[in-house]
């Protein structure tokens, strides 16, 4: 699934103030609910918290990929933020996080879930992409970097 099918411009934010992992997950769940009125943001938050309990989704190089599965969700949905200040996330490389891409998938979408996580990991493994996202002047620029296309308004 192309990344532009996961996110929209309204689910991309720059310089989000988050003091810790829990606060970041709360903000991401609210952002995931933007433009998705049927999404219960508390259920989304709990899904990501439950996944974090299994092990950190901080993949390294300042990136976190919090994710979860939701019953009743009809298609995968994502949100992306850069943070105002880095936070401790208990990442695999023990480095703080400066950006996060949250992903929710339908409960039954096991293969799609793994494929999307793989694609996101490839995107964020590129140092140039990470640097461009961190130094982007706007959410629109971050959206274009992630999707390679102009934002849908």
Domains of the chain and CATH, by start: 3-147 (3.40.930.10)
Query: Based on the number of CB atoms within 10 Å of its own CB, is 55 exposed (0-12), middle (13-18) or buried (19 or more)?
Result: exposed
pLDDT the model gives residue 62: 97
CA pair distance 83, 40, nearest whole angstrom: 24
Give yes or no for a contact between 18 and 84, defined as CB atoms under 8 angstroms apart.
yes
pLDDT the model gives residue 2: 78
The helix/strand/coil state of 107 is coil
pLDDT the model gives residue 138: 97
| Active centre residues (catalytic) | 67
Mark the ranges of the chain whose per-residue pLDDT is less than 50: 153
Give yes or no for a contact between 77 and 113, defined as CB atoms under 8 angstroms apart.
no
pLDDT the model gives residue 150: 58
pLDDT the model gives residue 109: 81
């Amino acid at each position: 699934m192309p990344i532009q099918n996961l996110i929209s411009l309204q689910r991309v934010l720059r310089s989000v103030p988050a003091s810790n992992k829990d606060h970041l997950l709360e903000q991401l769940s609210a952002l995931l609910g933007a433009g998705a009125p049927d999404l219960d943001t508390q259920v989304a938050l709990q899904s990501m918290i439950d996944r974090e309990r299994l092990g950190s989704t901080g993949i390294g190089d300042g990136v976190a990929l919090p994710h979860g599965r939701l019953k009743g969700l009809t298609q995968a949905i994502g949100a992306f933020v850069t943070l105002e200040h880095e936070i401790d996330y208990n990442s695999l490389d023990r480095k703080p996080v400066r950006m996060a891409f949250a992903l929710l998938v339908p409960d039954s979408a096991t293969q799609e879930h793994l494929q999307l996580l793989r694609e996101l990991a490839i995107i964020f493994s590129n140092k140039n992409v990470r640097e461009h996202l961190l130094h982007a002047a706007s959410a629109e620029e971050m959206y274009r970097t992630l999707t390679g296309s102009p934002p849908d308004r």
